[in-house]
Structure 1
Amino acid sequence: MDKLKCECGHVNPEGTVLCESCGKPVEENQHIDGNDQSKLLNMRYDGTARRSQTYNRSIVDKTWNFFSSVKVGVWLIVIALLASGLGTIYPQEMYIPAEAENRDPAIFYEDWYGLTGKIYYQLGLHNLYSSWWYMILIALIGISLVICSIDRFVPLYRALKNQRPKRHSIFLSRQRLFSETKTVTDKEMNHFITNLKKQRYKIVNENGNILAEKNRFSRWGPYVNHIGLIIVLLAALLRMTPFLFLDDYVWVREGEQKVIPGTHGDYYIENKRFLLELYDENDERFQAAMEKKGEIVHKNYQTDAIIYKVKNEGVVGSEPELEKVIESSIQMNKPLKFDGYTLYQSGYQQNEFSNMTFKVYRTDDENQNSLGEVTIDLTSPEKTYELDNGIRLQVSQYYPDYVLENGEPRSVSKFPRNPAFVFNLFPPDSSEAEISFVGIGKNIDAMGENEYKLGIVDFNMHYVSGLTVRRDYTLPFFIVGAAIFMIGVIQGMYWQHRRIWVNPNGEGIMLAAHTNKNWFGLKKDIEKAIANTNIHMVIDQEEIEKEIEKDKDKA
């Protein structure tokens, strides 16, 4: 790396715009500063060399320079926002509605949204936020933030750490706020310094050269922002790890005991009862809401549940020994929490059959007197049932959710919402089976030669509760990251880094000042400090330059 020696004797690294010691512009690097000798100085990082503007030789240099660009970072964020927007066009796979007939993503998106839904699925947008390319995009934003921060933090830290009260006359005269006073007494200088101290300026005096500074910490606000954003991005990536984040769904029928997904088989849930409450349609208080919605309004969804923990797994294949952990109700907006897991009431299904009772009677019996009855559990029907009179029923086909498509029977789901059976009925002491098709409102004898018929005597129905299972250990990371980000915003928004240089010039002084923002406030500070003295008020040279440019344009 080349070195550039200033006339003051200080050796500056290549790429330095203003001498780190005296502040005089380095003529060899005026192209980096973008200003000629007649214009105001660019005080960003006090002219200290940035790595991205110094090295451009190796592939590492080029990669560093690419990610250190603010434009690249902004474009990465814009692309991430557009991609995130695409993921909201249709619901993500985990949020496929429970009422969908087929929740298989390959079928659901085309059935519900047509051609656009099919394209949406084939492009992989149904799992956008966990896709590899989206994760890479988030990681690239994080890399850009880190490199941008380091590329600017290091030169700024070096510049602020090495500040000196004595500055070159060119450095002072080319500041935005500048004035020169021919004669200043010691009493006036002491009065000036005392007033600056009253305004909480930190004074450094080096052989009569004064540097008054306050609110330096505000310069680190953007970097604190970046730290907060990086933590938030890391938290977003950590949500992809099952150990730190779980978001699953489970359907539990009334009276059913089921393992809770995502708990590695350690926890079970039992649905004791599902409660659905509606607002009274005759209550005048809710008439407007019901008329607006056009249907009855639900008051409460509630699952009375028991959570069990596996105490002893026992022999492989045997039922595990369970220990009750908690018994409580799960309601909308009132989840159940246990051992880091949270269960939310997310949905329900009604009118699902739990069991059906069939009777057998003779075809020629007009009174349909029962020869025997059998009750079938519709969630797990057995293959064969035997009646006391010797009649044997064999379940040949079972359609939990029966429909007839193109003349062929099929089930649109595995849930018993419209159960139908094909039975093989074996009369007593007979190996010849009679075939019957029985369902809701259906009792078909295909050949019309059966001696026996089956009829539905009774049935029971139940609710099915839909619960979201969630565990999120990344939330504290998001909270910490957001808090740090807000601290950075406040730090950089409500305070300004203000510096005032006073250097002797014969019997008088040269006065210059700089701030990263709120120049009006800095001028007010100086005005208060020089009150009752002969020190000249600073002139805003940028306004003078603007007036000159306007005059040139008019000419």
Structure 2
Amino acid sequence: MEKETVICTCGHENPFGTKLCEKCGNPLTEEEKNTKVVDMRYDGKAIRSKTYNKSFVDKVWNFFSSVKVGITLIVILLLAASIGTFLPQEMYVNAGSPIADKGAYYESVYGFFGKIYYMLGLTDLYSSWWFQILVGMLGISIIVASIDRGIPLHKSLKNQRVKRHASFMKRQRVIASGEVADGETTLNDIEKQLKAQKFKVRRDGTALLAEKNRISRYGPYINHVGLIIFLVGVSLRVVPGFYVDESMMVKEGEMVEVPGMPGYYFKNEKFILETHDNNGQLSGEQEKQGVNVVAKNFQTNAKLYKQPEGAVSGDTSELELVKEAEIRVNHPLQYDGYSIYQMDYRLGDLSGMTFKLMNKATEESYGELTIDLTNPSKMYDLGNGSSVEILTYLPDYDGFKDGQPVTKSPNPNNPAFIFMMKTPETPEGETSFVEIKNTIEPLGENQNMMKFVAPQTSNASGLTINKNSTLPILSVGGIIFLLGVAIGSYWNHRRIWVQITDNQLLLATHTNKNWHGMKRELDKLSEHVALPAYEDQLALTDSEDEEEGDQ
């Protein structure tokens, strides 16, 4: 980057790109010299992105400092977030299933659109790599834009000179000039009145600078700080331990490892449902079919266990009970920053199936076996030389694909089995494919069969696990952002320069917005001090009044 300087007629050396002299305010560029009103957005300070565009670093800097780029990123993020609402996010479907199974779930439920939706990562949108890259790019854009414009603005406001070049004064939007009777007295009266109007006044000989509400210029940059903190909070949601939003369905008597809580196990001791018309008593039909009455209360009596330090994942031999709770809606089990909420329930979930191994011709029974559909055993020994082996278990059978039986999900909604049956008469075994109300003998007619005897059902609690360590960060970011909005919206930065030479008064004013308010300040000043009439050099109508942005 070339270190050029621009020397003003006053002798001050200004950085290359400066439009108005930092010392006296005299216009330095032909463009500013030929304008009726100078550009006061940054008091003419040099802005890096508007000055250099030669090196690769310059181009990257200028790209991220562009307001258009920032707005485009925001629009893309909003569009992506809206697309993410087309189908349910992964956290709301297939509770407890491995991620690998969820692609099949979206394809089977939503077809080809669901498959593409899953492949693009839209089912886990806010944790997807490309969404996080967009969030990171937006954060970089905000930081670069703030540095690019905020630092020059701060320097220009911090180092303001009281005395300014006559050319600077005459090129402000609202000016006044004329002769006064006594210059010293007039200047003292102006200072006194402006202080009464809550201006901060500085004097330098026969020159005066009055200023109020400078903080208004920092409103957009306070917004940026709030947004950056907020985006940091959003990005931390993908860091393990900062944000957990999982779900699980746990049957009565079942103990499961809690998703999102490594080393913790949850046991559903009992599920209780109370309704408004049956005093909490469920009939057998309600157990099977579900209830159509309004629930007054549904809760899970639960125990939370924790593995000891150094325990192998899945080892439940030495669990330590850390908390017992009655979980109800809006009354979660809370421990170690985690909250387990009661969200849903299912009545009469299929939890097991009892079969009888029998001879088809004589109906002789070789024994019964009960299969736990959540965690089935591989082999069942019935004694007397008879056994049943489960070759394949399909929890949610969904027909054949490419000649192979497939399951829609890991939940036992429509269980099917491929059994290997052995008896003293058939020691080599027979293969049977068994689903509800259907049996297939793929290798020819069998001598024996698996006869369905009875189902085992249980009630299940639908629970969500939540931990949000990013909430304080998001809250701080949101508060700072709203503070910046308030500062930038309800305050106006107003400045009045007055210089008197040989009883000749020259007055100039500037505000970043609300010129009508600025003129009211001058009207109030004129009521107490005899001043020449001011002139609005742009003479805009009410509807044409403009606002100067610092972003």
Per-residue CA distance 1:489-542 (angstroms, 9 max, x = gap): 111111111111110032131111111111122222222223143212422221
Per-residue CA distance 1:339-360 (angstroms, 9 max, x = gap): 0222233444443333444567
Q: Say whether 1:325 aligns with 2:322.
A: yes
Equivalent in the alignment of 1:288: none
Q: Supply the distance in 1 between the matched residues of 2:520 and 2:276 (Cα, whole angstroms).
A: 65
Q: Supply the distance in 2 between the matched residues of 1:315 and 1:45 (Cα, whole angstroms).
A: 62
Q: Aligned-pair RMSD on alpha carbons?
A: 3.6
> Structure 1 pair 331/504, CA: closer, same or farther in 2 (3 Å)?
same
> Structure 1 pair 184/334, CA: closer, same or farther in 2 (3 Å)?
farther
Aligned residues: 522
Per-residue CA distance 1:408-433 (angstroms, 9 max, x = gap): 87655444444556462525x98576
Letter in 2 for 1:526: L
- The unaligned stretches of length 5 or more in structure 1 are 282-293, 547-555
Return the offset for 1:83. Answer: 2.5
Letter in 2 for 1:44: R
Q: Aligned to 2:307, what secondary structure does the other structure show?
A: strand
Equivalent in the alignment of 2:529: 533
| Identity across the alignment (%) | 44
User: Of 42, 45, 49, which aligns to 2:46?
Assistant: 49
Q: Supply the distance in 2 between the matched residues of 1:441 and 1:184 (Cα, whole angstroms).
A: 110
Per-residue CA distance 1:290-333 (angstroms, 9 max, x = gap): xxxx9765555432211112236668986431221111133344
User: Of 383, 386, 395, which aligns to 1:392?
Assistant: 386
Equivalent in the alignment of 1:550: none
Per-residue CA distance 1:421-476 (angstroms, 9 max, x = gap): 6462525x9857687777655689999885x8765555431123333323222222
Return the offset for 1:17. Answer: 1.0
Equivalent in the alignment of 1:212: 210
> Structure 1 pair 278/439, CA: closer, same or farther in 2 (3 Å)?
farther
Q: Say whether 1:471 aligns with 2:448.
A: no
Q: Is the contact between residue 248 and residue 469 of structure 1 (CA under 8 Å) also seen in structure 2?
A: yes
Q: Is the contact between residue 165 and residue 211 of structure 1 (CA under 8 Å) also seen in structure 2?
A: yes
Q: Aligned to 2:341, what secondary structure does the other structure show?
A: strand
Equivalent in the alignment of 1:310: 307
Letter in 1 for 2:537: Q
Q: Say whether 1:163 aligns with 2:157.
A: no
Normalization by structure 1: what TM-score?
0.82
Q: Is the contact between residue 351 and residue 417 of structure 1 (CA under 8 Å) also seen in structure 2?
A: no
> Structure 1 pair 337/8, CA: closer, same or farther in 2 (3 Å)?
same
Return the offset for 1:255. Answer: 0.7
Q: Supply the distance in 2 between the matched residues of 1:314 and 1:544 (Cα, whole angstroms).
A: 76
Q: Supply the distance in 2 between the matched residues of 1:440 and 1:351 (Cα, whole angstroms).
A: 17
User: Of 120, 138, 144, which aligns to 1:147?
Assistant: 144
Q: Is the contact between residue 426 and residue 434 of structure 1 (CA under 8 Å) also seen in structure 2?
A: no
Equivalent in the alignment of 1:272: 269
> Structure 1 pair 396/341, CA: closer, same or farther in 2 (3 Å)?
closer
Q: Is the contact between residue 96 and residue 249 of structure 2 (CA under 8 Å) also seen in structure 1?
A: no
Equivalent in the alignment of 1:497: 493
Letter in 2 for 1:377: D
Q: Supply the distance in 1 between the matched residues of 2:76 and 2:434 (Cα, whole angstroms).
A: 57
Q: Is the contact between residue 314 and residue 320 of structure 1 (CA under 8 Å) also seen in structure 2?
A: no
Equivalence map 1:407-418=2 (5 Å):
412-418=408-414
Return the offset for 1:97. Answer: 5.4
Letter in 1 for 2:201: I
> Structure 1 pair 36/58, CA: closer, same or farther in 2 (3 Å)?
same
Equivalent in the alignment of 1:30: 30
Equivalence map 1:55-204=2 (5 Å):
55-96=52-93, 104-185=101-182, 186-204=184-202
Q: Is the contact between residue 177 and residue 541 of structure 1 (CA under 8 Å) also seen in structure 2?
A: yes
> Structure 1 pair 340/468, CA: closer, same or farther in 2 (3 Å)?
same
User: Of 14, 17, 20, which aligns to 2:19?
Assistant: 17
- The unaligned stretches of length 5 or more in structure 2 are 279-290, 543-551
Q: Is the contact between residue 425 and residue 436 of structure 1 (CA under 8 Å) also seen in structure 2?
A: no
Bigger shift: residues 47-56 or 391-400? 391-400
Q: Is the contact between residue 313 and residue 321 of structure 1 (CA under 8 Å) also seen in structure 2?
A: no
Equivalent in the alignment of 2:333: 336
Letter in 2 for 1:3: T
Q: Supply the distance in 1 between the matched residues of 2:438 and 2:64 (Cα, whole angstroms).
A: 70
Q: Is the contact between residue 96 and residue 247 of structure 2 (CA under 8 Å) also seen in structure 1?
A: no
Q: Is the contact between residue 312 and residue 321 of structure 1 (CA under 8 Å) also seen in structure 2?
A: no
Q: Say whether 1:485 aligns with 2:467.
A: no
